[in-house]
Each structure stands twice: as C-alpha cells, then as structure tokens.
C-alpha cells in the first residue's frame, strides 16, 4: 500500500474537526528500562485506550520485547489497528515488524496502519559518513505485509478527543537530542534535530494527557503546541520519555517552572527521562510520590484513578 500523506495546515484541520472529550482513558507502559515484570530495555512503547479506541504508541527497541511483555501482562494487541511512531530512532521502531507479522496471523488488520511525522523517512548519515536509510527499508518491509503509513505535518485528530501533534515547532531552545547526527538534504548535510518528533494528546474533562516517546522537540515545546492546537487546558498528565537524563540543574528548574505553569499534576517519566530528572521534576512541580513516578513495564495511568506504578517504582 502506498504512503498516505496528511499534510493539511493546522488551521484547516482545526476548523474541520470539532473538539471532543475523552471519558475513559488508560495508558499502559509496555517497554521501558525498569521492570518487575516482563523485559526491561532502553526503549519505549505504550498501549493507549481512549473511549474504546486502542493505539500502540511506539514499539520498543528489541524485536520481541513488546510482544513478550504484552503476553506476560495479559494484554491482547491483535485488535489494535493503529500504531504511532514518535520518531525514527530504533529504540522506538524495533518491534514493529515482529508485532505486525505475529499479530496479523490472527487478524490481518492488526497493526496495519502506522502514523508518523513528516521527515521520518529522511536519510540519516552515520558517524562514518554512510547513509542510513533504515526507516525507508522498514517502510518497504512493512508495506509488503499490506500495511500503510500515514504522514503528518500538522496537528490532526485521529479519533474524538485523540490528537497527534505532528512535528513540533521549536519555540524554546530545548536541545533534547545528541547533536551528533546529520540529515542528507538537497542543500547538503544538516544537523539532525529529529524534526519528525511527534506526541499524542488526549483531551479529557480533567485536562490534556500527553504521551511522548523521547520528546526530542522538548517537553515544553510539545506542551505549548498541545495547548494551542487542542485547547488551552491544564496538562493533567505527562506519560513517556522526555529526554532529560542529561539535563543540568538549571535546565530542569526551567523545565519544571514551565510545566508548573501548564498545570501538570501527574508524571510518569519513562525511558530517556532519567531517574534523577523525574525526582527533580517532582520537587519543582510540587507533586507527590503517588503522582510523579519513574515508569516501569506494566505501569499505568487511568483517568479518574491516577497512576499505578507497580511495586518496584511505588
């Protein structure tokens, strides 16, 4: 199946799609480093269930991690049709083909549609100067199974109250990437800022809930776009990776102050967020041990119930 482009302007998208609120929401972490059940790894994946709509956000790093963790946690992913890839890095895309091949045995439509940000298929250049077109290869391999990709360059509502940010404008200088990568463009090599980085936003009566893979665009930038594109509501919860593990104290204080202004009252810091960063943000945001935790495999956030961190992270 051919790549589908969804490159409408944000203003046209918002004008065409009425706002809605999600009433039931559960987010279950299926890949991250900490585990007291299943397999821990440097990667991220989460199952998002919003008013019956089931989405897999990222697919972990190793080919079998998410598949095995879902089975151990008693989660059936075969009825999930839509996958969101937050960005191109292998620790978020590594499980896609294993999941597609295995789950399509019971349902050919399982994980058959993948939503990505514009630029994800750009050719990266390795440290040796060789071109890395691994995502282009992944696309061809995935499409050979009958699946398709949908590419976005602006915020878009996937289901009532469930939004993709598309690529996030970099309003603030949050350099949440290594700076070592390069992109091959018609104008030559440029720094790879991971321009395709996108997040998921769920609009609820309690506020917005943000799911992030790495937050390479910056969590503050992403929150700003979410509140602009969806509605200027408080951020009820942040779940996922936010690439703050290397952030110094000044950056964490700045980030905490901006997130406090946005009204964040729940935080599950997974993957590249960093353990120390989670604790520092807990302090900056004035949250408690129950409302700001390091993510573990099997940890969950449920609307109206809050965070279940599992025993090891409690």
Q: What integer is the mean pLDDT of 13-38?
A: 84
| Res 309 pLDDT > 80 | yes
| Res 18 pLDDT > 80 | no
User: In the structure encoding, which two tokens stand for residue 112, read together?
Assistant: 């058959």
Q: What integer is the mean pLDDT of 118-143?
A: 88
Q: What is the pLDDT at residue 289?
A: 95
Within-domain flag for 312? no
Within-domain flag for 177? yes
Query: CA angle at residue 46 from 260 to 244, to 5 degrees?
Result: 40
- Best CA proximity match to 293, nearest among 27, 14, 6: 27
Residues 6 or more apart whose CB falls under 8 angstroms from that of 221 comprise: 168, 169, 170, 171, 172, 174
Q: What integer is the mean pLDDT of 128-132?
A: 76
> Mean pLDDT across the chain, nearest whole number?
93
| Res 8 pLDDT > 70 | no
Q: Is 179 exposed, middle or buried (0-12, 13-18, 19+ CB in 10 A)?
A: exposed
Q: How many CB atoms lie within 10 A of CB 183?
A: 17
Within-domain flag for 95? yes
Within-domain flag for 304? no
Within-domain flag for 179? yes
Q: What integer is the mean pLDDT of 55-81?
A: 98
Q: What is the pLDDT at residue 5?
A: 58
Q: How confident is the model at residue 184 (pLDDT cuts 50, 70, 90)?
A: confident
Q: State the total domains in the chain.
A: 1
| Res 175 pLDDT > 70 | yes
Q: pLDDT (tens digit, 9 = 90+) per residue, 145-167? A: 999 999 999 999 999 999 999 99
Q: What is the pLDDT at residue 96?
A: 98
For residue 178, the enclosing domain spans 4-296
| Res 205 pLDDT > 50 | yes
- Best CA proximity match to 166, nearest among 156, 176, 175, 177: 156
SS3 readout for 164-181? ECCCCCCCCCCCCCCCCC
| Res 186 pLDDT > 70 | yes
**CATH assignment at residue 75:** 3.60.15.10
Q: What is the pLDDT at residue 128?
A: 72
| Res 4 pLDDT > 70 | no
Q: What is the pLDDT at residue 12?
A: 41
Within-domain flag for 307? no
CB burial of 248-258 (b: ≥16 within 10 Å; e: otherwise) equals eeebbebbbeb
Within-domain flag for 310? no
Within-domain flag for 206? yes
Query: What share of the chain has pLDDT > 90, as a percent?
Result: 83
């Amino acid at each position: 199946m051919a790549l589908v482009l969804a490159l409408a302007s944000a203003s046209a998208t918002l004008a065409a799609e009425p706002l809605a609120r999600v009433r039931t929401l559960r987010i279950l972490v299926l890949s991250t480093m900490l585990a007291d059940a299943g397999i821990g790894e440097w990667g991220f994946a989460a199952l998002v269930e919003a008013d019956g709509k089931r989405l897999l956000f990222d697919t972990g790093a190793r080919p079998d991690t998410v598949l095995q963790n879902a089975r151990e946690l008693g989660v059936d992913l075969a009825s999930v049709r839509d996958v969101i890839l937050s960005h191109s890095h292998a620790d978020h895309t590594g499980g896609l083909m294993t999941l597609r091949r295995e789950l399509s045995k019971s349902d050919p439509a399982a994980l058959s549609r993948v939503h990505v940000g514009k630029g994800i298929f750009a050719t990266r250049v390795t440290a040796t100067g060789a071109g890395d077109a691994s995502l282009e290869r992944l696309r061809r391999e995935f499409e050979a199974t009958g699946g398709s990709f949908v590419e976005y360059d602006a915020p878009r509502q996937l289901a009532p109250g469930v939004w993709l940010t598309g690529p996030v404008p970099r309003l603030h200088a949050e350099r949440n990437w290594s700076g070592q990568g390069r992109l091959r463009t018609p104008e030559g090599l440029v720094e790879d800022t991971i321009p395709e980085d996108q997040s998921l936003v769920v609009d609820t009566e309690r506020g917005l809930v943000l799911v992030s893979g790495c937050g390479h665009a910056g969590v503050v930038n992403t929150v700003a776009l979410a509140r602009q594109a969806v509605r200027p509501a408080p951020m009820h919860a942040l779940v996922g990776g936010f690439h703050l593990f290397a952030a110094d104290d000044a950056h964490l204080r700045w980030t905490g102050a901006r997130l406090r202004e946005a009204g964040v009252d729940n935080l599950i810091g997974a993957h590249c967020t960093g353990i120390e960063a989670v604790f520092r943000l807990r302090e900056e945001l004035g949250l408690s041990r129950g409302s700001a935790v390091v993510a573990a495999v099997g940890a969950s956030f449920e609307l109206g119930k809050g965070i279940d961190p599992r025993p090891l992270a409690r």
